[in-house]
Structure 1
Amino acid sequence: MEQRVSYRVPREYGPRVAVIGGGHGLSTMLRGLKQYTENIAAIVTVADDGGGSGMLRQDLGMPPPGDIRNCLEALANTEPLMSQLMQYRFSEGSLAGQSFGNLFLAALNGISSSFDAAVSRMSEVLAITGRVLPVTTADVRLEAEFENGASVVGESKIFYCKKREDCRIKQVRLIPERPKALAEAITALRQADMIVLGPGSLYTSIIPNLLVDGIVETIQESSALKIYVANVMTQEGETEGYTVSDHIAAIIHHSAPGLVDLCLCNSSPIPKSVAARYAEEGAEPLRGDVEACAALGVEVVSRPIATVEDGYVRHHSVHLARELILLHAERSVRIAGDRFGRRDNGYRMEGRRRTERGYEDEKK
């Protein structure tokens, strides 16, 4: 029987976690993580150019606020009314489809010295747990090149171009290439005990962060536990037909070998009726080809981290966060000493006892 670590550390002493990505997957994970640790740094892509974010980007010349706003809301500790206000979307007029949270961040950007300063101010207003950091403040665009040689510029156009070309994405790049990373993002990665990539869209939420100057190099130099959280399903218009190893190979192709240690995958069953609906769109449960991942130097760990909401498969925020924290604990119990001065680093191995040589099974 597998021995699992139980977690009993106060949130203020929780591990320092740096998460990298964008989209709803990242904000979902953050809602769970803040229940286990206050030491969170969310490093978020700024390549989005669609929807309300794209409109503000075009009209005001500011970085896209949408993914940043989602993360701020996920980490917020505010009254219910403030939360409702930030999530409110206008339904009529020229603001139709735009969220108040986006407009609020845009206003803060207008009175602040920089976009990252505006994000910091909004963090204070929402009294968030941890920090939210744009990966760069440069005005970047995302370009995708397909295996047949076709290419398209604009994150929001990649889905439609892939459907039209009907072939895999070969690579993506930022325009301009290798923009400078936000200094605070580099610092957060250096200080992290655990670095988490994803969950989120492979080519439009995760990989764009790895194309920013200094991000990959800092992750490589870090001694933190590095985990890639795989999506539960393949994504229409981006990763149809992909396996887990295909995702990892794409990450390596855009960064470097050995960037992550583990890949956390879902083991919860997907209802047949739900899977059938996804199949109509060319999506399917992501297959964890363990041996192929091992050949890429990545260990696959499967845990029940998915749920079904309104017919859609999603990561369960609390279950996902708990498994990440426990994985960090399990990989940390062998580390000598305790930087917080607590016995056993605050972790307890169920069914085991601590000895001078480590942990061993308790005698029945």
Structure 2
Amino acid sequence: MENRRTSYRLPKAHGPRIAVIGGGHGLSTMLRGLKQYTENITAIVTVADDGGGSGMLRQDLRMPPPGDIRNCLEALANTEPLMAELLHYRFSEGTLAGQSFGNLFLAALNGISSSFDAAVSRMSEVLAITGRVLPVTNANVQLEAEFENGVRVVGESKIFYCKKEQDCRIRQVRLLPEHPKALCAAVEAIQNADMVVLGPGSLYTSIIPNLLVDGIVEAIQESDGLKIYVCNVMTQEGETEGYTAADHIAALFKHSVPNLFDLCLTNSSPIPKGVAQRYAQEGAELIRCDKERCGELGVEIINRPVATVENGFVRHDPGHLARELILLHAERSVRIAGDRFTFDKDFYLVEDSKEQGPGADGKNR
């Protein structure tokens, strides 16, 4: 018997079509990794943020918040170092103190464009990004949270403080006005995706708001692609204290439909004791993976080493997270029995090792 190995090289231009849905730094972190494997990425981003520099521009210019979209554009950008530095620059003095140049750039483009998504498209061209970034809707929406004691608060930036004050869980969130229409391009990207990824990111303020936009949940249901939720590594103070993986999944299903996705990717990398203790002082902890309850919800847990510690903070590692997602796509979608998958920066390869038995002439092949 002899061993035969065949490698299939898949250029990034022909990589899997991936639709990622969310917001915040978790989404942009994942995008930095995914663009190493495929050019066919569509990031669908929440526009419910109303805090910080984004909130100021939203209030002053009556435009959707640019911050989360800017982060995704920066993650997918292919620009000179000077341009990257310029986009990251934050003013330190005067009326613009704390505002980023990237936000102002997108705001200016919005002023000369027919719509917010057109402005995002123009900025995408300037930055020569890999893939696409789309606002989930062009509507001017706000996020309202209702707590288990019946108290309600309007404004994404106010939810943290209100939850700390009320000291009870969030019952549900909704958009105001309700049922805004999703961007057609976002719906089409989800429907045509080989893989749909929810998260990582803040459960109630980055991921769920996208599911409340008309057309998004239906598009996920209609998609034949692999559907995965990337669970956060730690609970989030002021939002998900005490939540397990199943609690996250149950909240997502409650705000959409049961069985919206089949897989949940969780972290198996160890977190240093000192780092965990510091998080505990702030009311945050490692998210407990209660597999049995997740199974009862119809979701399979995939536990992989996808986290790292940077400057004392637990974060998803962009390279490790992207690699595990591409592996899952290859294993669950390509389904070539007995194959082994390896990667480099330009391709992902399928290495097929098969033992060849005797042929018709009696010789081994």
TM-score, length-scaled by structure 1: 0.91
- 1:348 paired residue number: 350
User: C-alpha separation between the residues in 2 aligned to 1:186 and 1:40?
Assistant: 14
- Give the root-mean-square deviation of aligned CA atoms: 1.8
3-state SS of paired residue (1:228): strand
User: C-alpha separation between the residues in 2 aligned to 1:174 and 1:32?
Assistant: 31
Give the 5 Å matches for 1:150-229: 150-229=151-230
- 1:272 paired residue number: 273
3-state SS of paired residue (1:278): helix
**Does the 8 Å CA contact 2:200/2:230 hold for their aligned counterparts?**
yes
Give the deviation of 1:346 after TM superposition.
7.0
User: C-alpha separation between the residues in 2 aligned to 1:354 and 1:120?
Assistant: 50
Question: Is 1:113 aligned to residue 114 of structure 2?
Answer: yes
Deviating runs (4+, > 6 A) in structure 1?
Answer: none
Give the deviation of 1:258 after TM superposition.
1.0
User: C-alpha separation between the residues in 1 aligned to 2:225 and 2:355?
Assistant: 24
User: C-alpha separation between the residues in 2 aligned to 1:297 and 1:265?
Assistant: 16
Give the deviation of 1:241 after TM superposition.
0.1
Q: Deviations over 1:233-257 (max 9, x none)?
A: 0000000000000000000000001
- 2:240 paired residue number: 239
Structure 1, unpaired ranges of 5+:
1-5, 337-344, 356-364
Give the deviation of 1:60 after TM superposition.
0.2
Question: Is 1:20 aligned to residue 21 of structure 2?
Answer: yes
- 2:297 paired residue number: 296
Give the 5 Å matches for 1:2-151: 8-151=9-152
3-state SS of paired residue (1:9): strand
User: C-alpha separation between the residues in 1 aligned to 2:16 and 2:249?
Assistant: 25
- For residue 83 of structure 2, what is the amino acid of its counterpart? M
Aligned length in residues: 342
User: C-alpha separation between the residues in 2 aligned to 1:234 and 1:7?
Assistant: 40
User: C-alpha separation between the residues in 2 aligned to 1:98 and 1:346?
Assistant: 39
Q: How has the CA–CA distance of structure 1 residues 128 and 87 changed in structure 2, closer, same or farther, with 3 Å as cutoff?
A: same
User: C-alpha separation between the residues in 2 aligned to 1:85 and 1:105?
Assistant: 13
Q: Deviations over 1:210-265 (max 9, x none)?
A: 00001001101111100000000000000000000000000000000110110000
**Does the 8 Å CA contact 1:210/1:255 hold for their aligned counterparts?**
yes
Q: Deviations over 1:100-121 (max 9, x none)?
A: 0000000000000110000000
Structure 2, unpaired ranges of 5+:
1-6, 338-346, 357-365
> Greater CA radius of gyration, 1 or 2?
2
Identity among equivalent positions (%) equals 79
**Does the 8 Å CA contact 1:329/1:347 hold for their aligned counterparts?**
no
Q: Deviations over 1:294-342 (max 9, x none)?
A: 1000000000000000000000001000000000000123379xxxxxx
User: C-alpha separation between the residues in 1 aligned to 2:186 and 2:323?
Assistant: 24
User: C-alpha separation between the residues in 1 aligned to 2:46 and 2:349?
Assistant: 33
- 1:319 paired residue number: 320
